[in-house]
């Protein structure tokens, strides 16, 4: 905290020169920024540690808020959304102007100002206009109390008679204050299903323990943080669910606000066909050998493309030592940036969809570079599924061919 306050002093002083208007006040300037960007999590029962809905709650935290927004650790979003390397649909990302306003307000001593007639409301929750299939945990599950973070996978049976495509989804959380995020995966063959069933069987209680992903070959279908109510996949695209195939729901529970029985459900909107079937492709470096005790261990690998693809979204994935991640594409035209993460937090796992889908062509080379901080380790860290293992993956949501932009 001391460090943050010190940083803030320098930052706010630098900004004051450029903020050319009356001192910001809570009611006029700050409450709307918080309602739009923070209150979905920082409210009673939300995933954030404190509520930001009244002046009395917010004012004592003014300096901390200025510090975390100035260093962009809040609102949480792993990818750079500045425009230097893409921008993303619905990104949790503050404008430079809002960051400067929060800093100037803290610097001015957090004045309240005149209360507005109506307090600003956070954006309305997402709703699905039609539900075709609901997948729910078969019974309530109460996380084990030995760990703060619990990752649990549940095998679900969608009972589809024909293949269908997920195009949109809505989440109905059992206990929102305990769910950090969830991910639904499709299983594509009987062997993978048998492996998941065996993991389930071997673990007492509903479901099985799983960190990072379901521990069996699987495909991402939907994902959401505790404050996301759902969403729509990019227009014209969808992800296949196979007839008769199983699915795995991975829940990440955080017990910061207590331990409760949770039974979460996901409503899906399906289409019998979509113009462009989407696939999850990955570029990864799976041969990790990270020596202990180094602040910046860099690993990199490439993948050559043999077909044209449209990239609609990206999900950067490392575990707890991951700090930076980059994916670039090189072609005869030069190098293009596909994903950039400057301050990776394992906590914030999600797909982010590009505002402008990207194209890669046969012959292009994708390169992933991951940087790790191993100063807290005393043995070599290698690739694996465990909390103490590492990964280096860029998952991409792709369709075949060059879609959009008149091509």
The footprint of ligand HEC on residues 209-238 (CB under 6 A) is 225, 227
**Which of 11, 12, 19, 48 touches ligand HEC by CB under 6 A?**
48
Check binding of 150 to ligand HEC (CB under 6 A).
Answer: no
8 is a site residue for ligand HEC (CB under 6 A): no
Contacting range for ligand HEC; rule: CB under 6 A; set: 60-68, 78-86, 198-206, 329-337? 60-68
Taking contact as CB under 6 A, which single stretch among the options 73-81, 200-208, 350-358, 360-368 is the one that binds ligand HEC? 73-81
Residue with tokens 């990019």: 234
- By CB under 6 A, tell whether 24 contacts ligand HEC: no
Min separation Cβ 33 and ligand HEC, Å: 7
Residues 337-366 that bind ligand HEC (CB under 6 A): 347
- Choices 63-71, 128-136, 273-281, 320-328 (CB under 6 A): range interacting with ligand HEC: 63-71
Shortest CB 117 distance to ligand HEC, Å = 23
Q: Which stretch binds ligand HEC (CB under 6 A): 38-46, 104-112, 336-344, 391-399?
A: 38-46
Contact 139, 206 (CB under 8 A): yes
Q: Confirm or reject binding of residue 69 to ligand HEC (CB under 6 A).
A: yes
CB 68 to ligand HEC: min, Å: 4
Q: How far is the CB of 227 from ligand HEC (least distance, A)?
A: 5
Q: Which residue has the tokens 């296949």?
A: 240
38 binds ligand HEC (CB under 6 A): yes
Of residues 85-104, those binding ligand HEC (CB under 6 A): 92, 94
Under the criterion CB under 6 A, does residue 62 sit at the interface with ligand HEC? no
C-alpha separations of 192 from 52, 187, 246, 249 in Å: 44, 6, 9, 14
Shortest distance in whole angstroms from residue 76 CB to ligand HEC: 5
Asked whether the beta carbons of 117 and 27 are under 8 A apart, the reply is no
- 124 vs 272, beta carbon nearer ligand HEC: 124
Name the minimum Å distance from CB 402 to ligand HEC: 34
Any contact of residue 37 with ligand HEC (CB under 6 A)? yes
- Cα separation, 219 vs 281, whole angstroms: 10
59 in Cβ contact with 50 (< 8 Å):
no
**Per CB under 6 A, does 76 bind ligand HEC?**
yes
Task: State the pairing for strand pair 179-186/247-254.
Answer: antiparallel
Segment interacting with ligand HEC, rule: CB under 6 A, options 65-73, 142-150, 199-207, 326-334? 65-73
Is residue 41 within the footprint of ligand HEC (CB under 6 A)?
yes
68 belongs to the binding site for ligand HEC (CB under 6 A): yes
Q: Which stretch binds ligand HEC (CB under 6 A): 35-43, 117-125, 146-154, 157-165?
A: 35-43
Q: Whole-number minimum distance, CB 180 to ligand HEC, in Å?
A: 8
Residues 285-344 close enough to bind ligand HEC by CB under 6 A: none
Q: Which stretch binds ligand HEC (CB under 6 A): 59-67, 230-238, 241-249, 326-334?
A: 59-67
CA atoms of 181 and 230, how far apart (whole Å) = 12
β-pairing verdict for 393-400 and 230-232: unpaired
- Total number of residues binding ligand HEC (CB under 6 A)? 21
Rg (CA), the chain: 22
Residue 91 Cβ vs ligand HEC, minimum distance, rounded to whole Å: 11
Beta bridge partners of 371: 298, 324
Interacting residue ranges for ligand HEC, rule: CB under 6 A: 37-38, 40-42, 47-49, 61, 64-65, 68-69, 74-76, 92, 94, 225, 227, 347
């Amino acid at each position: 905290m001391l460090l943050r306050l010190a940083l803030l002093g320098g930052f706010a002083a630098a900004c004051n020169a450029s903020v050319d208007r009356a001192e910001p006040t809570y009611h006029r300037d700050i409450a709307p920024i918080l309602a739009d960007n923070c209150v979905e999590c920082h409210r009673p029962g939300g995933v954030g540690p404190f509520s930001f809905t009244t002046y009395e709650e917010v004012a004592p935290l003014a300096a901390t808020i200025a510090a975390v927004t100035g260093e962009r650790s809040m609102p949480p979003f792993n990818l750079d959304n500045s425009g230097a390397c893409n921008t993303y649909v619905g990104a949790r990302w503050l404008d430079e102007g809002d960051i400067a306003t929060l800093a100037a307000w803290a610097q001015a001593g957090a004045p309240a100002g005149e209360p507005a007639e109506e307090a600003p409301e956070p954006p309305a929750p997402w709703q699905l206009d039609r539900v075709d299939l609901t997948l729910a945990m078969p019974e309530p599950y109460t996380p084990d109390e030995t760990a703060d973070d619990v990752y649990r996978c549940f095998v679900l049976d969608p009972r589809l008679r024909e293949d269908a495509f997920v195009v949109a989804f809505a989440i109905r959380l059992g206990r929102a204050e305990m769910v950090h995020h969830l991910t639904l995966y499709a299983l594509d063959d009987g062997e993978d299903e048998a492996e998941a069933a065996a993991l389930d069987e071997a673990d007492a209680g509903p479901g099985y323990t799983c960190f990072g992903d379901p521990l069996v070959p699987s495909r991402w279908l939907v994902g959401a943080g505790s404050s996301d109510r759902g969403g729509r996949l990019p227009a014209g695209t969808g992800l296949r669910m196979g007839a008769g195939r199983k699915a795995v729901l991975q829940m990440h529970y955080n017990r910061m606000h207590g331990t409760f029985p949770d039974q979460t459900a996901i409503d899906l909107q399906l289409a019998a066909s979509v113009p462009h079937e989407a696939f999850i492709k990955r570029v990864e470096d799976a041969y990790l050998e990270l020596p202990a005790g180094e602040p910046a261990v860099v690993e990199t690998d490439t993948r050559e493309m043999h077909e044209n693809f449209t990239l609609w979204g990206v999900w950067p994935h490392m575990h707890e030592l991951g700090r930076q991640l980059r994916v670039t594409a090189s072609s005869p035209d030069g190098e293009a940036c596909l994903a950039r993460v400057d301050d990776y937090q394992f906590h914030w796992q999600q797909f982010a969809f590009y505002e402008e889908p990207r194209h890669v062509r046969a012959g292009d080379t994708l390169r992933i570079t991951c940087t790790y901080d191993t100063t807290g380790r005393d043995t070599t860290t290698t690739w694996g599924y465990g909390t103490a293992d590492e990964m280096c993956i860029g998952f991409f949501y792709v369709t075949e061919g060059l879609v959009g932009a008149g091509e």
